[in-house]
Amino acid sequence: MPIEKSATKTNLLEQARQIEQETIACRRHIHENPELSFQEVKTAALITEKLKELGYKVTPAARTGVVGELGEGKTIAIRADMDALPLQEENPEPYRSKQPGVMHACGHDAHVACGLSAAKLLADQYKKGSLKGKIRFLFQPSEEAVDDEGKSGASLLVEEGWLKDVQALIGLHVFPNMPTGHIALRKGSIFAACDTFDITIKGVGGHAAFPERAVDPVVLAATIVQSMQTLVSRRKSPVEPALITLGGIRSSSYKSNVIPETVQLTGTMRYFEKSARDLLYAEMKNILSIADKMGGSYSIEYRTENPALSNDHQLTDTVGAVAAQLLGADKVITFDRILGSEDFSFYTEHAPCCFLILGCQPGDHPRNFHGPHFDIDESALAIGTAMLAQTALHLLED
Ligand SMILES: [Zn+2]
Ligand SMILES: [Zn+2]
């Protein structure tokens, strides 16, 4: 989609670079003071204070989240998630986490910092009379975890109605294994749907020396684990991406001379199309019925968590055009879709959305998400800030 002349007049990347030190300081402050999902109280207080200073109408939302609004009319929304992870940071930097066992290892500190600086740039536009509509910031708690009812921050914000009158919603995720200066985009699905399950395989416990008097759930589990992996390779089409990962296995007793009563398995299924889920779930139950046929039994608790994250085609074109304007067309690359998941996906079911990927690799050292050495190249923060603000400004001018 071509960028109209009016939007090209204002280059918010230059302005984002002018406030870059403030953005970096904000990111470092949040990085040093990470808070777990639905416990983002201090982070929310900081966001509230900054938004109020800028003239936004601020409403607490989704328990520990914050919604900031400015202007009237057509509404464009920007989302930034806020939570950290239960992980001990092992970076040497002076801004490393001060909270033992809690760390911003997914970059949500950077998302908040980019969001607040974008809020500042858009407040400047509002004061100049250049904001032709309403901007709504969704500072979302708990992307990484769900509450007792299985709800993360995004689903709560949707339930509270913050998406109802939204014309378009954008958000970003830092990627510290993609070079700084690049934006990656893809139309349609980019992140997979994520379900989780817990399986209990019940046998008959007994003495290790008398297996004929027991039904060994360890052997049943081993057969089931092996067979489960053939579902992905043999039961579904090889060109349809999906996976089953078993993340844990444990027996009710753990002793060399005891056949346990039960074995538990925990795992996740990832897919893009619901038809793939239906097929794999039905086949999974077929495989579990091995337990019944061999004298044991099974139960499964299956939970659907995040849906697939699907970017709106037209909005993604617009974001791509803004990125090309700010960074050059050669810096806008196609995102290879992954089987990771993100609760931004809940929004994509309620409004046209685009989730953009912000390259921020520190030098030659790509970092792993959710690892103790996670970090970003902070020079990418100005790009993230500008992408959010410039896209919103452009969409309001449209
Ligand atoms: Zn994460
Ligand atoms: Zn994340």
- Output the pLDDT for position 398: 75
Confidence class for position 5, pLDDT limits 50, 70, 90: very low
In the reported structure, the alpha carbon of residue 342 is separated from the centroid of ligand 1 by a whole-number distance in angstroms of 8
pLDDT at residue 310 tops 60: yes
In the reported structure, the alpha carbon of residue 226 is separated from the centroid of ligand 2 by a whole-number distance in angstroms of 31
Each residue of 240-287: pLDDT tens digit?
999 999 999 999 999 999 999 999 999 999 999 999 999 999 999 999
Question: What is the biggest distance separating any 2 CA atoms in the chain, rounded to whole angstroms?
Answer: 83
In the reported structure, the alpha carbon of residue 371 is separated from the centroid of ligand 1 by a whole-number distance in angstroms of 10
CA of 81, nearest ligand number:
2
How high does pLDDT run on average in the chain? 96
Each residue of 135-173: pLDDT tens digit?
999 999 999 999 999 999 999 999 999 999 999 999 999
**What percent of the chain stands above pLDDT 90?**
97
CA of 358, nearest ligand number:
2
**Two structure tokens written together for 180:** 């700084």
In the reported structure, the alpha carbon of residue 207 is separated from the centroid of ligand 2 by a whole-number distance in angstroms of 47
In the reported structure, the alpha carbon of residue 144 is separated from the centroid of ligand 1 by a whole-number distance in angstroms of 6
In the reported structure, the alpha carbon of residue 83 is separated from the centroid of ligand 1 by a whole-number distance in angstroms of 9
**Two structure tokens written together for 336:** 């290879």
DSSP string for residues in 205-273: -EETT-GGGSB-HHHHHHHHHHHHHHIIIIIS-TTS-EEEEEEEEEES---TTEE-SEEEEEEEEEESS
CA of 86, nearest ligand number:
1
pLDDT at residue 377 tops 60: yes
Confidence class for position 2, pLDDT limits 50, 70, 90: low
CB–CB of 78/69 below 8 Å? no
- Helices 274-293 and 217-230, packing angle to 10 deg: 150
In the reported structure, the alpha carbon of residue 78 is separated from the centroid of ligand 1 by a whole-number distance in angstroms of 18
pLDDT, mean of residues 65-76? 98
Each residue of 194-223: pLDDT tens digit?
999 999 999 999 999 999 999 999 999 999
CB–CB of 248/266 below 8 Å? yes
In the reported structure, the alpha carbon of residue 106 is separated from the centroid of ligand 2 by a whole-number distance in angstroms of 5
- Distance in angstroms (rounded) separating the CA atoms of residues 80 and 142: 11
CA of 171, nearest ligand number:
2
In the reported structure, the alpha carbon of residue 11 is separated from the centroid of ligand 2 by a whole-number distance in angstroms of 28
In the reported structure, the alpha carbon of residue 341 is separated from the centroid of ligand 1 by a whole-number distance in angstroms of 9
In the reported structure, the alpha carbon of residue 22 is separated from the centroid of ligand 2 by a whole-number distance in angstroms of 22
pLDDT, mean of residues 109-127? 98
pLDDT, mean of residues 374-396? 98
In the reported structure, the alpha carbon of residue 112 is separated from the centroid of ligand 1 by a whole-number distance in angstroms of 14
Question: What SS3 class is residue 395?
Answer: helix
In the reported structure, the alpha carbon of residue 104 is separated from the centroid of ligand 1 by a whole-number distance in angstroms of 9
- Distance in angstroms (rounded) separating the CA atoms of residues 6 and 130: 10
C-alpha dihedral sign at 75, 58, 175, 14: positive
In the reported structure, the alpha carbon of residue 96 is separated from the centroid of ligand 2 by a whole-number distance in angstroms of 18
Confidence class for position 61, pLDDT limits 50, 70, 90: very high
CB–CB of 167/367 below 8 Å? no
- Output the pLDDT for position 3: 57
Confidence class for position 38, pLDDT limits 50, 70, 90: very high
Each residue of 312-355: pLDDT tens digit?
999 999 999 999 999 999 999 999 999 999 999 999 999 999 99
Distance (Å) of CA 336 to CA 60, 231, 277, 326 = 36, 24, 21, 22
**What percent of the chain stands above pLDDT 70?**
98
Question: What SS3 class is residue 385?
Answer: helix
Of residues 271, 262, 161, 173, the one with CA closest to residue 221? 262
Prediction pTM value: 0.92
- Distance in angstroms (rounded) separating the CA atoms of residues 248 and 196: 12
In the reported structure, the alpha carbon of residue 342 is separated from the centroid of ligand 2 by a whole-number distance in angstroms of 7
DSSP string for residues in 264-326: EEEEEEEESSHHHHHHHHHHHHHHHHHHHHTT-EEEEEEEEEE--EEE-HHHHHHHHHHHHHH
pLDDT, mean of residues 31-59? 98
